[in-house]
Amino acid sequence: MPTLHSYLKPIEAALKKAGKPAEAKAMSKYMRNKFEHYGVRSPGIRDILANQISDKGLPETMTELDAIVRSGWLHPKREMQFIAMYLLDKSVKVWTGEVAAMQDLFEFTITTGSWWDTVDFLSFNLVFQWWKRNPKVVDEVRIDIFVRFDFTTFFNFRFVENGINTKTSG
């Protein structure tokens, strides 16, 4: 495992402390044993992140946010990926307008160790929010990263529903 970013070390300690082995086993089984877990459910994960944000604040730059998210994403425990996603969700001010960096980070998170639980949150909560705030990038973004997960029909429905043009010019 790569070195954990210092922002995430107190979160890792809190997740270890809050983890329940029986829950971890059940969560891993539910996810077809594709991922390890601490045994902390989403409300607990969100509380732990809220405590860290209260203590340390949010990342202030795109570079810092990118490093933290990637570090959490590569952690073997699934809860750390959820921390990374929820941190992205809380850090909209940092990544609004960061087209190339966010495209790269979204592609990384969606194509690296993802499954339905993370892809759904990333796509429907974060990517749509990003595209809605930056409508000009829809033609520039590599939509094919999402097609790999066979969400094309749903994406097109959501794009139309949210007033985003999915047709590229030319």
pLDDT band at 145 (very low <50, low <70, confident <90, very high): low
> pLDDT at residue 119 above 80?
yes
How far apart CA 6 and CA 60 sit, in angstroms, is 15
124 and 159 in contact (C-beta within 8 Å)? no
> What is the value of pTM for the model shown?
0.81
Q: Report pLDDT digits (tens) over 31-55.
A: 999 999 999 999 999 999 999 999 9
How far apart CA 141 and CA 146 sit, in angstroms, is 11
pLDDT band at 153 (very low <50, low <70, confident <90, very high): very low
Q: Give the mean model confidence (pLDDT) for residues 85-101.
A: 87
DSSP of 5-71, one letter per residue? PGGGHHHHHHHHHH--HHHHHHHHHHTTTSSB--S--HHHHHHHHHHHHHHH----SHHHHHHHHHH
Domains of the chain: 1-95 (1.25.10.90), 97-170 (no CATH)
Give the total residue count for the chain.
170
3-state secondary structure (DSSP) of residue 73? helix
> pLDDT at residue 163 above 60?
no
